[in-house]
Structure 1
């Protein structure tokens, strides 16, 4: 059964994840619309990366369910979710450091292509999209930190996602590198890929995203348009700080 085009591409429905007595996410409910850029923000330990792990299939929720394009994927393993169109990056880049850049991206492309030759062609196209072609033959372990983050994005894009989860891909970048990263994310979204991004650099992320969801202590504290969220009293108290209120 195909999903109704008016339905959200992703629905997280009353999801809780507990590790023994520690609740990492509690009663999280949110919808992600097709084609939007959604910012997932909040203080360290708020449960943002845990929620990414739930969406991508690393963890299964203790309760609740996750729907992607109308289908219940709550119990599907990560590889199957990837085949269905969910890709992600990691907070700490996870490249195959002994392989070159092209080989790393080809690994991602093999999720969508049946032959090594077609996967390699797709990988080359992807490297061009992320402006990393000039480093195709470089060993991944020799890349700079910003290049490794871009390689993470390239490998995820090579899987042909419809939903892309970006975990702090702009963190630690210089202003010019962050500007290039923002331009890349906008280009990806312009192709119809839905983006959820975890980011701490508020000055960068808020002008970029269409909506923002704020997590605090594992729960949704606020969600809405960026301009609304940054004026929310609870968000200011829990995350932005009183200096933001004064500004």
Structure 2
């Protein structure tokens, strides 16, 4: 494994782990994210919510390095990573899942996670040991030798989380990992996210299942038309008139 691409420095614990500083992304005449300012505290679970097309996954792509902003800066642990390629951001400590799970379907489950483990481990045996431990943590140890293409949708989402965790991130971006699950599957997913946060990993999650995500997150940020519409404690955000009008709907106001 190559050396850390970003020189390490002591960052005070009270400083945010991530700062998105006036970030804008344009695709031609389309503004996908507009002047986004966001700070993410160490150890928190941050919910990123909003209607379809609000710019949530685009922001994830900017943070993870899939896109580079038209303007603005992104700082991770006090370091400017705006121009850092995605693989180096992963080595620096940022990992993500995708809205549509992306597994190597012809490989078995543990091999999928070993791919993530190679970010931290040079030897295959070390990466395999770490991968098996991660599968145990996410409840997939019993499927380690199964072909990834044979997993159920909830198992594939857990596999995505396992592969991301195998990179040993300090910041984990979860893109709709609870969407489409049964109530019992969603409950298990919530428990998994809480365990991840308890390990000291900061989590930003995009989610549409409001009744599940709101009791889970420490703070919520609402995006609308590519801009930050509101942010704060979940109980305050869901009572915000602008959020109700733009996202939750009048039925929520009545409730």
How would you bin the TM-score normalised by the shorter chain?
over 0.9
- Distance in 2, matches of 1:91 and 1:204, equals 17
1:112 and 1:80 map into 2 onto residues whose CA distance is: 12
Aligned with residue 45 of structure 1, among 50, 53, 56: 53
**TM superposition score normalised by structure 1:** 0.99
What does 1:151-190 align with in structure 2 at a 5 Å threshold?
A: 151-190=159-198
Distance, in Å, in 1 between the alignment partners of 2:229 and 2:242 is 7
Match for residue 142 of structure 1?
Answer: 150
RMSD, aligned CA: 0.5
Which of residues 222, 232, 238 in structure 1 aligns to 2:230?
A: 222
Partner residue in 2 for 1:85? 93
CA distance in 2, matches of 1:33, 1:217: 24
Q: Deviations over 1:76-106 (max 9, x none)?
A: 0010000010000000001000000000000
Q: In the alignment, is residue 9 of structure 1 matched against residue 17 of structure 2?
A: yes
Equivalents in 2 of 1:226, 1:30: separation in Å? 16
For 2:53 and 2:11, the matched residues in 1 are separated by 34
Q: Report SS of the residue matched to 1:27.
A: strand
Query: TM-score, normalised on structure 2?
Result: 0.96
The size of the alignment, in residue pairs, is 247
User: Could you list the runs of 5+ residues in structure 2 that have no partner in the other structure?
Assistant: 1-8
Aligned-partner SS, 2:214: helix
**CA deviation profile, 1:117-138 (whole Å, cap 9, x unmatched):** 1000000000000010110011
Contact 1:4–1:70, Cα closer than 8 Å, also in 2: no
4+ residue runs of structure 1 moved beyond 2 angstroms? none
